[in-house]
């Protein structure tokens, strides 16, 4: 019977997923410069009890722009892939932005922070405990975008698996 919809995700489901992926990737790319700057500021103040000097703030700004170009581009590339071809998640790529504020802090002579055992084991190079655990830590406005994209991805994935089971 030709009146039955094709099994698997609909074209509308795939279009919405692409729309949500683009919104998330755009949001991540836009948030990275501010996240780098805030990370440098927060750690510097906590360690030195004073605001970073202008040269450190300038280095943080440059590092944030570099992170946006590099990491933002990688998130865009990942989310442009079909969900079944994505080798990792976007948050794992976002965590690869940690070296940007880390390099600024190290160059400024700011000492490492004390981390819990789990963080030290999971992220050995993250000496300032900067690795975001959610999109909201990068920017609170990304919380919903991450949830919506994740739900849409799960929907498409499940629709495909159900369709495979019907064959």
Is 136 a residue whose pLDDT tops 80?
Answer: yes
- Residues 19-52 pLDDT 10s: 999 999 999 999 999 999 999 999 999 999 999 9
**3-state DSSP call for residue 112?**
coil
Is 112 a residue whose pLDDT tops 50?
Answer: yes
End-to-end CA distance of the chain: 15
Is the whole model's pTM more than 0.85, yes or no?
yes
pLDDT recorded at residue 167: 41
- Residues 78-106 pLDDT 10s: 999 999 999 999 999 999 999 999 999 99
CB 135, CB 146: distance < 8 Å: yes
Q: How far is it, in rounded angstroms, from Cα 117 to Cα 24?
A: 31
């Amino acid at each position: 019977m030709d009146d039955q919809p094709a099994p698997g995700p609909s074209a509308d489901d795939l279009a919405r997923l692409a729309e949500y992926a683009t919104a998330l990737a755009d949001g991540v790319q836009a948030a990275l410069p501010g996240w780098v700057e805030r990370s440098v500021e927060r750690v510097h103040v906590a360690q030195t009890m004073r605001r970073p000097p202008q040269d450190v703030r300038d280095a943080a700004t440059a590092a944030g722009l570099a992170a946006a170009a590099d990491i933002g581009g990688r998130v865009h590339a990942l989310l442009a892939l079909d969900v079944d071809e994505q080798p990792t998640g976007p948050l794992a790529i976002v965590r690869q932005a940690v070296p940007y504020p880390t390099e600024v802090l190290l160059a400024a002579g700011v000492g490492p922070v004390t981390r819990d055992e789990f963080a030290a084991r999971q992220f050995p190079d993250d000496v300032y405990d900067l690795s975001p655990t959610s999109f909201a830590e990068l920017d609170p406005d990304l919380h919903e975008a991450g949830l919506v994209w994740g739900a849409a991805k799960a929907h498409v994935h499940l629709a495909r698996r159900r369709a495979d089971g019907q064959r």
